[in-house]
Amino acid sequence: MINRELIDPKSIVIVGGSNDRSKVGGALIKNLTEKNYKGKIYAVNPKETDVQGFRCFKTAAELPDVEMAIICVAAAYVKETVEELANHKNCKAFIILSAGFSEVGPEGESLQGEILEIINRNAGSLLGPNCIGALTQHYAGIFAGPVPKLDPKGCDFVCASGATAAWIVEKGMLMGLSFSSMFTVGNSAQIGVEEVIEYWDETFDPDSSSRIKLIYIESVSQPAKLLRHASSLIKKGCKIAAIKSGSSESGSRAVTSHTGALASPDSAVDALFRKAGIVRCHGKEDLVTTAAVFCHPEPAGRRVAIVTHAGGPGVMMTDTLEKGGMQVPHLEGPDTEELLSGLFPGSSVANPIDFLATGTPEHIGLIIDAMNDKFDNIDSMAVIFGSTGLTDISEALDVISEKTRTSRKPVYTVLPSVVTAKKEADYFHELGNVSFSDEVLLARALAAVAKTPKPAGEVELPEIDVKAVRTILDGCEDGYMPPEKVQALLDAAGIDRAGEAVVSSKEEAVEKAMELGLPVVMKVVGPVHKSDVGGVALDVNDVESVENEFERMMKIKDTTAILIQPMLSGTELFVGASYEEKFGHMILCGLGGVFIEILKDTAAELSPVSRNQASEMIASLQSYKIIQGTRGQEGVDEARFADTITRLSALCEIAPEIRELDLNPLLGTRERVVAVDARIRIGMGNEKIGMWPPVNCKQANSLDLYLSQP
């Protein structure tokens, strides 16, 4: 719970306050005073009577009422301090910097729980323990790292790691970023990253709130909350970038399907961020670079003009942009000739636009104006301007600053001379600008921002036979479903499948093969990886071959029966689902058959998956050209492929007990996408408890009606 006292306390006590500014308690008071905190400051330290000019008390019991406490004493003394402040001093907000709690083991976790219980009982807020504090517009309550410029329209930042927060802020400051707030959550005993995002959303003011949100998170413990509030913020006009570090222990999962092997907690995070509209970053530099991109207007498209007085950076940026799906359009025609005539001989305007090391500030202005007024095939500009340290470049930066403010198209300024032109860069930032130190990092950020979709809207799933699905699943035990139930489940979901029969005698095999129509495919029932054990026979086209293959296959270890299907042809496709703890089902698609193992070219989204999302998944595959049809090979009906994906998602939405599901292969043609092999593994985990409606809801015949039941 984030309350007013945590954001805007009228009085703060530093428990462990010190006159030594190199200590935590001393650095805190120094930062509070230097950043002009307007409320009352107290300190508790049994060895002092005065701390940096503020009254100091021997114990917390001697204090007057105080709204917030920042505690930096040993863990053993924290509980008694919190008890005194919460129960007797009307303290409603606590920032516990001290370590020695859940991060050190069961004993510390127990102590942390006792402290949390006291604070919750008194309707208080708790940040930490084991953090470096918080920054808001009202106070600078941190002890580590530089204290950035606090600007209501700067970046809001929440970080799971205190040291990482300090380093990210430092890097951001070097680029001219300002900050509106920062929360370091430490052990997240009460307030975690998701709670801070929720607070940003619920208190968002379109007139006064920051529109840039930065996140560093190590464990997504509440993905639904993160998705709901991040999506809401972005729909309100915010931009969000996030680092998710660390990985869950996916190796411990008992996966036996292609989907289970290809899905992972990290791919679930990727899908979650895409669904929310969050730009995923993979390091501190990525995060602050993306934040600096957010400080500029959103470009109309992906076409970038690179303006530079040094050839190498322009080439490197071009390569990186084009690899990331951006465009660096070639410029030609009368307008380029006119622009070239205004530059020194030897300049190039083909894009990158190289105006030479001898180019002047006026040349920069001329180029930016031309990109705005003459070239409709340019959406934004990157100006790379460095210095050898021999001349002052302030005049050029004045021009770039002015043009950035007046340009109709975003202008991203790269100042690579972080040592030789530091003074000029600082001056550029003082003018209210942000800059980038590396053109390749900028190019990567521009590509990542451009690729990140807007938040997903409401998802309308196809209607499936919910009553039949629930009837089938309620009678299943843990493990792989028998073929006949898999068939029934696919039929209930409306997923087209090949006709098939499961047989256990040679005579029955011949009978069913004739009914289905020769030639047929025969597969073992029992072994998981059929091809690996010789358990698949294709194009079985006469009675004698059916009998021989039946006898051969029944001798394969673990085989209990034989599955017979008509021999079909088409492009081999794959659709699957895998349940990820806390996230729900991951839906995957790609090429099927052996290609899934060789190429591992899959697209993944979190369920529910809409028709548009399914189509985007298909189009994002590296093998998409094969699906479209190439070099005389027939393509696949993409609408039917997308329909299969959405039907699988609808099935998973009402079937949490599905742990792994493979439709591999599906055979796709211009007329049909049909499942010819399917495996479904059921597992009744704790996630099912309390998740689904009462039994009477299973009488519903549509998904909407089923989910609307109380």
The SS3 of residue 397 is helix
Q: Mean pLDDT highest for which of 229-243, 417-431, 469-483?
A: 229-243
For Cα atoms 351, 355, 356, give the angle at the middle one, nearest 5 degrees.
125
Burial of 22 (0-12, 13-18, 19+ CB in 10 A): exposed
- 145-294 is classed CATH 3.40.50.261: yes
One-letter identity of residue 418: V
φ/ψ of 17, rounded to 5, equals: -60, 150
Alpha carbons 185 and 96: distance in angstroms, whole number: 10
Q: Is the pLDDT of residue 512 over 60?
A: yes
Q: Is the pLDDT of residue 674 over 70?
A: yes
Alpha carbons 528 and 536: distance in angstroms, whole number: 12
The SS3 of residue 680 is strand
The SS3 of residue 100 is coil
Residues 42, 66: contact at Cβ < 8 Å? yes
Q: Which two tokens stand for residue 639?
A: 């609408």
Q: Which helix or strand (DSSP H or E) is residue 118 part of?
A: helix 106-121
Alpha carbons 480 and 701: distance in angstroms, whole number: 26
* Per-residue model confidence (pLDDT) at position 647: 97
Cβ contacts of residue 668 below 8 Å, gap of 6+?
A: 570, 571, 572, 573, 627, 636, 637, 640, 641
Alpha carbons 168 and 436: distance in angstroms, whole number: 14
Alpha carbons 647 and 31: distance in angstroms, whole number: 57
Q: Is the pLDDT of residue 226 over 70?
A: yes
Query: Would the pTM count as exceeding 0.95?
Result: no
Report the pLDDT averaged over residues 396-424: 95
What are 503's strand-pairing partners?
Answer: 562
Quick one: what percent of the chain has pLDDT higher than 90?
Answer: 82
* Per-residue model confidence (pLDDT) at position 264: 66
Q: Is the pLDDT of residue 271 over 50?
A: yes
Q: Do domains 145-294 and 304-451 have the same CATH topology?
A: yes
Superfamily of structural domain 304-451: Succinyl-CoA synthetase domains (3.40.50.261)
Residues 447, 325: contact at Cβ < 8 Å? yes
Kindly write down the DSSP assignment for every residue of 614-661, as one continuous string: HHHHHHHSTTHHHHH--TT-----HHHHHHHHHHHHHHHHT-TTEEEE
Alpha carbons 265 and 159: distance in angstroms, whole number: 20
Helix ranges restricted to H, 122-192: 162-174
Find, among 157, 184, 167, 32, the residue nearest to 99 by Cα: 184
pLDDT tens digits along 155-172: 999 999 999 999 999 999
* Per-residue model confidence (pLDDT) at position 262: 57
Q: Which two tokens stand for residue 340?
A: 């070239």
Three-state SS for 24-72 is HHHHHHHHHHHCCCCCEEEEECCCCCEECCEEEECCHHHCCCCCEEEEC
Region of 472 please: left (phi>0), alpha (psi -120 to 50) or beta: alpha
- Whether the bond between 416 and the residue before it is cis, its omega within 30 degrees of 0, is no
Confidence of residue 691 (pLDDT cuts 50, 70, 90): very low
Residue 510: how many CA atoms within 13 Å on its side-chain side? 9
What b/e sequence results for 150-188 when a residue is b if at least 16 CB atoms lie within 10 Å of its CB, and e otherwise?
beeebbbbbbbbbebbbbbbebbbbbbbbbbbbbbbbbb
Confidence of residue 595 (pLDDT cuts 50, 70, 90): confident
pLDDT tens digits along 575-590: 999 999 889 999 999 9
Is the Cα torsion angle 8, 13, 15, 20 positive or negative in sign? positive
Give the architecture (CATH level 2) of 571-697: 2-Layer Sandwich (3.30)
* Per-residue model confidence (pLDDT) at position 630: 82
Length of the chain measured in residues: 710
pLDDT tens digits along 617-671: 999 999 999 999 987 788 999 999 999 999 999 999 999 999 999 999 899 999 9
Find, among 617, 580, 654, 628, the residue nearest to 248 by Cα: 580
Confidence of residue 429 (pLDDT cuts 50, 70, 90): very high
Q: Is the pLDDT of residue 182 over 80?
A: yes
Residues 5, 92: contact at Cβ < 8 Å? yes
* Per-residue model confidence (pLDDT) at position 457: 83
Per-domain boundaries in the chain:
4-130, 145-294, 304-451, 499-567, 571-697
Is the Cα torsion angle 688, 694, 700, 706 positive or negative in sign? negative
Find, among 553, 520, 517, the residue nearest to 539 by Cα: 520
Which residue bears the tokens 């699957």? 576
Alpha carbons 320 and 414: distance in angstroms, whole number: 15
Alpha carbons 382 and 306: distance in angstroms, whole number: 5
Find, among 662, 621, 655, 642, the residue nearest to 262 by Cα: 662
Confidence of residue 686 (pLDDT cuts 50, 70, 90): very low
Region of 2 please: left (phi>0), alpha (psi -120 to 50) or beta: beta
Q: For the chain, what is the mean pLDDT?
A: 91
Q: Is the pLDDT of residue 702 over 50?
A: no
Could you tell me which CATH class the domain 499-567 is placed in? alpha beta
pLDDT tens digits along 567-577: 988 999 999 99
Alpha carbons 523 and 538: distance in angstroms, whole number: 9
Report the pLDDT averaged over residues 373-382: 97
**Inter-residue long-range contacts of 553-560, CB under 8 Å, 24+ positions, other chains counted:** 553/522, 553/524, 556/524, 556/526, 556/527, 557/527, 557/533, 558/526, 558/527, 559/524, 559/525, 559/526, 559/527, 559/535, 560/504, 560/525, 560/526
* Per-residue model confidence (pLDDT) at position 149: 85
* Per-residue model confidence (pLDDT) at position 706: 37
Alpha carbons 83 and 123: distance in angstroms, whole number: 13
N-terminal to C-terminal alpha carbon distance within the chain: 28
- The strands making up 520-525's β-sheet, listed across from edge to edge, are 501-503, 561-566, 520-525, 536-540
Q: Is the pLDDT of residue 701 over 50?
A: no
Number of other residues whose CB lies within 10 A of the CB of residue 606: 26
Alpha carbons 601 and 623: distance in angstroms, whole number: 7
The SS3 of residue 456 is coil
Confidence of residue 598 (pLDDT cuts 50, 70, 90): confident
For Cα atoms 82, 186, 267, give the angle at the middle one, nearest 5 degrees.
145
Find, among 550, 565, 543, the residue nearest to 674 by Cα: 565
Q: Is the pLDDT of residue 254 over 90?
A: no
One-letter identity of residue 119: I
Q: Is the pLDDT of residue 263 over 60?
A: no
For Cα atoms 118, 121, 122, give the angle at the middle one, nearest 5 degrees.
90
Confidence of residue 489 (pLDDT cuts 50, 70, 90): very high
Superfamily of structural domain 4-130: NAD(P)-binding Rossmann-like Domain (3.40.50.720)
Alpha carbons 625 and 586: distance in angstroms, whole number: 24
pLDDT tens digits along 43-65: 999 999 999 999 999 999 999 99
Find, among 500, 507, 516, the residue nearest to 550 by Cα: 507
Q: Which two tokens stand for residue 375?
A: 């070239």
Q: Which two tokens stand for residue 173?
A: 């400051």
The SS3 of residue 524 is strand
* Per-residue model confidence (pLDDT) at position 261: 54
User: Residue 297 has what DSSP assignment?
Assistant: P
Q: Is the pLDDT of residue 229 over 50?
A: yes
* Per-residue model confidence (pLDDT) at position 390: 74
